[in-house]
Structure 1
Amino acid sequence: MSSVSSDVFLEDEKLQQGADANFVEMQVFDIIDQARRDNGNLTRKEEIRLAVDLCKEKLRLLSESDETDDRRLRQGYLDKLVQLGLEKQTIDDEDNENEEVIRVRDHSFVIQPIRGRNPTCEVCMTTIWKLMHAWRRCKYCGLRTHSSCTSSVGRMCASSIVTRHDFALTMTICEEKGLAAQNYRCHECARPLSFEGSSAVEPRLCDYSGFYFCSSCHWNDQMSIPARMLHNLDSEPRPVSRASKQLLTMIDNRPLIPLGSANPMLIKLNSSLKRINRIRSDFLFMKCYFVSCRTARQLRILQYLCRHQHFVESSDVYTMAEMRDIVSGKLLEEMEDIHQVFLKHITEECETCKGNAFVCELCPDKQIIFPFSDNVSMCCKCLAVFHHKCFELRSRFCPRCERRSKRAPPEEIDPNERL
């Protein structure tokens, strides 16, 4: 009997929800129909805006009520808001696909909305009054201009520079070349510069490129300099030109700083860097275990390094963001935590990974070891792992390679090994 009553109650609830949804639809239809009569050129986006305003107002009025009927009606308005939001997003996406794109010096300028603060045009250096002026923004580097100024843009788009096959960051600390080397002109726009006179002609040094710029091309933006981080672990922001700022912002999360090869002594002298370098080397070994482990693939354990995907591809390069985290100490803490998770999975939790461990064949100790264990050495030919002392005492002799050479046919044996 109670089961029948429950079914009847659920059926009545569904009917009431359907009635509430129809009521909301009728209200939205009425307000749009009235607006169409007043304005025959009403667009669908304007109709959606009217319907959204109606639903928000009704929700405001119903927010203080806690009656069952009002709760159902409130849910009907919320569902309608979600539906209208999805429809508006679809229309916006279609508009963006069809929007006019102006391409100048590899920039892709698209028209921008009037909401938000009024930016500065980076060509004529005047304020863009959005209510009065149409303005555009490059989709890639973010350069902002009046629509009428796009044809006068002289700066190449930073995205086209960083995507060149021969692009490389400047890894030498810039030397001040002096204004005479630039013929007393701005490096970008060739405007005359002088240390004497008004601020409009005052030269400003870019700490990334080493060139002087005018106040229109150099807004005293502050950025960390890759060369100073590479050589001195100095992440202090310094003034750079607009072009340099856009370039450095674009490559902030790209692994382009070859710390291991460009400055290996820094790793040896800095304990934090030395530990990070060891952890990254361990990650490369651990990746070999994870790609052959079904459990690790199901757990997606490598997703712990989603912000540092290049850590499982090489142990040499860093991003600018990572270099700043090295200076602040954040990167070492993060890597230690991830290293412990990986180590626990391989050495304790997963039988498959533990089954791929090694035992040193050069001593009686049968404790399992891994390529990332402390004080171990690896045969460069067969990749077998031994205790470091055992391997060195036996003059780096590998019994595994010896067994393989004995099993191999004579013609496959290296002539040098035969001798």
Structure 2
Amino acid sequence: MKTPLFNCFNEYNGLLSLTITGNYGGKYRNPYHCTRPELFSGSRTHSTDRTMDLGLAEDHFSRPVGSFVASDIEQLKLAIEECKKLIPELPEHSERQKDTVVKLIHLRLKLQELKDPEEDEPNLRVLLEHRFSKEKSKSVKQNCDKCNTFIWGLIQTWYTCTGCYYRCHSKCMNLITKPCVKSKVSHQSAYELSICPEIGLDRQDYRCAECRTPISLRGIPSEARQCDYTGQYYCSTCHWNDTAIVPARVIHNWEFEPRKVCRSSLRYLALMIARPVLRLKEINPLLFNFVEELVEIRKLRQDILLMKPYFVTCKEAMEARLFLQLQDRQHFVENDDMYSLQDLIDIYSGRLSCSLTEIHTTFAKHIKLDCERCQAKGFVCELCKEGDILFPFDSHTSVCHDCSAVFHRDCYYDNSTTCPRCARMTERKQDEMPHVKEA
């Protein structure tokens, strides 16, 4: 008969995870999670002279009633069974019952330590294009991507791939069959742009698309889980029901609801999210007709490209490193039609519009107000010869496509003649032609 002493009694990777409540004014958890100094000091004093030692030495594994020594795996297993039988028999919420629970935790940890001893593992291991680096963190909040169980950093050696962040126990490394996703990103920097391109379980031979484990929709022998990005089916080991924003749904439907994807797709999308590989005007040009935010961002990007020549030739702008404000989106100073998935997510949320408008204002202020050199590169409307100095990124101007001269928009479209600057350049070329012939 279980007492209310246990709120949770679950096993992960052969270890015991339990939460104990009692009359201490709070909760005891697995001692490796506890940060209270009195627990790590090795003693706790109450009204009696009871000492509760939380070390892992074998002397502390004695049964509260009687004693025995747990020195090997078989004896530890027997000790664990003895503790499990004894706990319900002891008085509820008693000190002896709490001591026994704590001892049971340590027995479990000691058993796992004997099964998976600490060895001198190399700091770097290369496998299937993964570059695994040995972790020093003692966090237990990570899961092994191979066996899908907790990584107990205190007593287990584990590695993380520096490329795709694949995590696994040292003992699981020889069982890995998944190549590094970063290599796929390097060789195939393009999204699948069909929405959930399902091919069916029969085309997969009723096997996981990745590890080839037999699967079915009925869950026998293993549950088939569909990845919304690839459209294929995976087993529960390769598909943890993680969710991610799918690029195809964003491009075609402007839909940002996260969908369930397999582990490899999750990593691939995470590594690709900041890469500018989406040319919207070719993939879905109609999107600009329905999403006003996209039109606004496109105009801001076009203006920034018009500002670029001013900064490239301005010493003050180079010293101030104004372009560093766009260091996370370098493609914004290279073109105006390539987008990353992160760009589209930020456009949808409104963050990109705010930040890019602020940067646009800073750039324009430097050119039009702060820097005399940049001001000297402005234009006077040659059609009306009136008004302030004009710049190509001003909202009320138009630019000649042939010579890049800047005019008031109203003057440019009302004028039926050709561009004055283009006319002068043409006349100059005609004047030079006779001299060329005579030579």
TM-score of the aligned structures, taking structure 1 as reference length: 0.69
- Secondary structure (helix, strand or coil) at the match of 1:125 reads coil
Confirm or deny: 8 A CA contact 1:234 1:327 kept in the other structure: no
Partners of 2:150 and 2:434 lie apart in 1 by: 80
Confirm or deny: 8 A CA contact 1:102 1:108 kept in the other structure: yes
Q: How does 1:358-397 map to 2 (within 5 A)?
A: 358-394=379-415, 397=418
Residue of structure 1 equivalent to 2:139: 116
Partners of 1:391 and 1:118 lie apart in 2 by: 65
**Pick from 152, 167, 182: which aligns with 2:204?**
182
Shift of 1:301: 1.9
Confirm or deny: 8 A CA contact 1:206 1:239 kept in the other structure: yes
CA pair 137-391 structure 1, distance change in 2 beyond 3 A: same
Partners of 2:270 and 2:321 lie apart in 1 by: 30
- Secondary structure (helix, strand or coil) at the match of 2:366 reads helix
Paired residue type of 1:109: F
CA pair 308-167 structure 1, distance change in 2 beyond 3 A: closer
**Pick from 271, 287, 295: which aligns with 1:274?**
295
Shift of 1:101: 2.5
Partners of 1:127 and 1:348 lie apart in 2 by: 59
Partners of 2:401 and 2:296 lie apart in 1 by: 23
Residue of structure 2 equivalent to 1:241: 262
Partners of 2:317 and 2:128 lie apart in 1 by: 47
Confirm or deny: 8 A CA contact 2:382 2:420 kept in the other structure: yes
Paired residue type of 2:198: E
Shift of 1:100: 4.2
Partners of 1:140 and 1:371 lie apart in 2 by: 43
Q: How many residues align?
A: 314
Q: How does 1:221-300 map to 2 (within 5 A)?
A: 221-300=242-321
Summarize deviations over 1:254-279 as a string: whole Å, max 9, x none: 22222233222212322211111100
- Larger mean CA deviation between 216-225 and 327-336 belongs to 327-336
Partners of 1:260 and 1:376 lie apart in 2 by: 24
The answer to whether the aligner puts 1:155 opposite 2:178 as a matched pair is yes
Q: How does 1:8-407 map to 2 (within 5 A)?
A: 100-113=123-136, 115-117=138-140, 119-164=142-187, 166-198=188-220, 201-394=222-415, 397-407=418-428
Paired residue type of 1:209: T
Residue of structure 1 equivalent to 2:49: none
Shift of 1:395: 5.2
Summarize deviations over 1:266-296 as a string: whole Å, max 9, x none: 1232221111110010000111111222222
Paired residue type of 2:353: L
CA pair 118-364 structure 1, distance change in 2 beyond 3 A: closer
CA pair 403-247 structure 1, distance change in 2 beyond 3 A: same
Partners of 2:147 and 2:434 lie apart in 1 by: 77
Confirm or deny: 8 A CA contact 1:376 1:385 kept in the other structure: yes
Partners of 1:129 and 1:307 lie apart in 2 by: 36
Partners of 1:197 and 1:349 lie apart in 2 by: 68
Greater per-residue helix proportion: 1
Confirm or deny: 8 A CA contact 1:391 1:397 kept in the other structure: no
Percentage identity across paired residues of the two chains: 40
- Secondary structure (helix, strand or coil) at the match of 1:170 reads coil
- The unaligned stretches of length 5 or more in structure 1 are 1-97, 414-419
Paired residue type of 1:150: M
CA pair 395-243 structure 1, distance change in 2 beyond 3 A: farther
Partners of 1:270 and 1:320 lie apart in 2 by: 16
Confirm or deny: 8 A CA contact 2:273 2:341 kept in the other structure: yes
Partners of 1:161 and 1:197 lie apart in 2 by: 30
Confirm or deny: 8 A CA contact 1:359 1:367 kept in the other structure: yes
Partners of 1:168 and 1:226 lie apart in 2 by: 10
CA pair 412-174 structure 1, distance change in 2 beyond 3 A: farther
Partners of 1:284 and 1:234 lie apart in 2 by: 29
CA pair 99-288 structure 1, distance change in 2 beyond 3 A: farther
TM-score of the aligned structures, taking structure 2 as reference length: 0.66
- Larger mean CA deviation between 155-164 and 99-108 belongs to 99-108
Partners of 1:372 and 1:292 lie apart in 2 by: 17
- Secondary structure (helix, strand or coil) at the match of 1:102 reads strand
- Secondary structure (helix, strand or coil) at the match of 1:310 reads helix
- The unaligned stretches of length 5 or more in structure 2 are 1-120
Confirm or deny: 8 A CA contact 1:205 1:240 kept in the other structure: yes
Confirm or deny: 8 A CA contact 1:226 1:257 kept in the other structure: no
Shift of 1:171: 2.0
Partners of 2:235 and 2:329 lie apart in 1 by: 38
Summarize deviations over 1:181-216 as a string: whole Å, max 9, x none: 212111001111112245x61111111111111100
Shift of 1:332: 0.9
